[in-house]
Amino acid sequence: MKRILTGDRPTGKGHLGHYVGSWENRVKLQDEYECFFLIADLHTLTTALERTGNVAENVRDLVLDWLAVGIDPNKATIYLQSLIPEVTELFWIFACLVTVPRAQRIPTLKDVMRDLEIEEPSVGLLSYPILQAADVLMVRADLVPVGRDQESHIELLREIARRFNRLYGPVFPEAQSLTGRVPTLVGTDGQAKMSKSLNNTIFLSDPPDVVEQKVRGMYTDPKRLRATDPGTVEGNPVFIYHNAFNDNVDEVRDLEERYRTGRVGDVEVKRKLAAALNRFLDPIRERRAKFEAMPGLVDEIILAGTARARAEAQETLRLAKEAMRLPYGGV
C-alpha cells in the first residue's frame, strides 16, 4: 500500500481553507493509503518564537479539528514532530544537499516575510522546506496532499530525493503532490488566501452567529453599488464559497443568474451563504464538542501515533546512513 504524509503547523484552530485545501482529501485518502498526519510543532519556531507558550493548546486544537472533520486515528497515524529526534538528523543530511540560492527561490518564503512583516529571515525560516522534505521522506511517503501554494516545496523535496539517490543509492521515493478540489480558498476580505495571520478566516469551530457576522462583512463585487446593478460572479468571494460549500446547487445557480442581471442583492446572497455554511459546519462542530469532552483522548492518540512514526523514522535513518557508508550507519 502506498504511503501519504501531510500535516499542519499547530498555530490555532482550523478554518475552511484548511478543509478544502487538504483536510477533505485526507479523510478520503485514509481509506485508500497508509497515512501519516504530522503535527509540525518544530515548524512553528520559524515565525513564532515569542509565542511558544501557545503550542500545547494549539496542538490539542489541531487534533480536535482533525477528528471533527473525520480523520480516524485507527486508520491513520497522528504524531508530534518534536518527539521524533531522527527527523532533525535527516534534515541536517538533506540541508547539506541544498544550496542557499536554491533555498531562497522558494516562492512562499517571500509571501511569509511579507505577511508577517519579517525583514530578515532566520536560517530556520529559510530552510523549513528542507525540514518538510525530511518529514515526508522520513516515512518514505509516495504522496503529499498540499495546497497549491506548497507545490514548490514538493519540487524541492523531489530534487533532494533525486540527489541523495544519485549519490548514495535508491533509498527515497520522489513523492508527488496532491491538491484539493479548491486548492486555495480566498479570504473573506477578498485576499488571495484565507490565513489566520491576515484575520480573514472562518474557523470550523466558529459558532453560527459568528459565521453569520463574518459572512455579512465579506468582500464582494466592488463595482456593484445597488442591488439592481448587474454583478460579477466570477472571482466573487461570496460565490466562490457558495460553490465550495452550498449543497443546494439549484439555489446557487439561481443566485448566480439573478446576481448577474441585477435581480438580487448582496444581503440575500450572503444570508443564504451563511445558512449553507452553518449546515456544512454543524456536524463538524458537534463531533468536535464530543471529542473535546473526552479527557486524555488527544494525548493517547498522539503518543500511540508517535511511537509508530518513530519506528519508521529509525528504520529510514538506518537505511540512509547505511547507504552513505557512515560509521555505524547500519546499527
Strand positions, DSSP E, the chain: 3-8, 34-39, 76-80, 143-145, 176-178
Residues 129-165 pLDDT 10s: 999 999 999 999 999 877 666 778 889 999 999 999 9
Whether pLDDT at 114 is above 80: no
Q: What is the pLDDT of residue 201?
A: 94
Kindly give the pairing relationship between strand 76-80 and strand 143-145: unpaired
C-alpha span between 251 and 231 (Å, rounded) = 17
Q: Is the pTM of this model over 0.85?
A: yes
Q: Which CATH architecture has domain 3-183+296-324?
A: 3-Layer(aba) Sandwich (3.40)
Closest C-alpha to 227, from 273, 261, 253, 250: 261
Q: How many Å apart are CA 210 and CA 82, to the nearest integer?
A: 34
Q: Which CATH number is 206-289 given? A: 1.10.240.10
pLDDT, residue 180, reads 64
**How many beta carbons lie within 10 A of that of residue 36, not counting itself?**
23
Tens-place pLDDT, residues 221-271: 988 988 899 999 999 999 999 999 999 999 999 999 999 999 999 999 999
Q: How far apart are the first and last CA of the chain?
A: 27
Measure the CA–CA gap between 260 and 228, rounded to whole angstroms.
Answer: 10
Average pLDDT of the chain is: 91
Q: Could you tell me the pLDDT band of residue 181, with boundaries at 50, 70 and 90?
A: low
Helical spans, DSSP H, in 169-296: 208-216, 237-245, 249-260, 266-292
The number of helix segments (H) and strand segments (E) in the chain equals 13, 5
Q: Provide CB contacts within 8 A for 259, sequence distance 6+.
A: 231, 233, 236, 239, 269
pLDDT of residue 183: 63
Query: How is the beta sheet containing 76-80 ordered, strand by strand?
Result: 76-80, 34-39, 3-8, 143-145, 176-178
Residue range(s) in the chain whose domain bears CATH number 1.10.240.10: 206-289
Contact present, 39 and 7 (Cβ < 8 Å): yes
For CATH 3.40.50.620, the residue range(s) in the chain are 3-183+296-324
Can you tell me the distance from the alpha carbon of 202 to that of 270, in angstroms, rounded to the nearest whole number? 14
d(CA 194, CA 120): 24
Sequential DSSP letters for 143-199: EEE--GGGHHHHHHHHHHHHHHHHHH-S-S---EEE--SSSSPPPTTS-SS--GGGT
Residue 117 has pLDDT above 90, yes or no: no
Instruction: Give the model's pLDDT for residue 44.
Output: 87
**Amino acid at site 284:** I
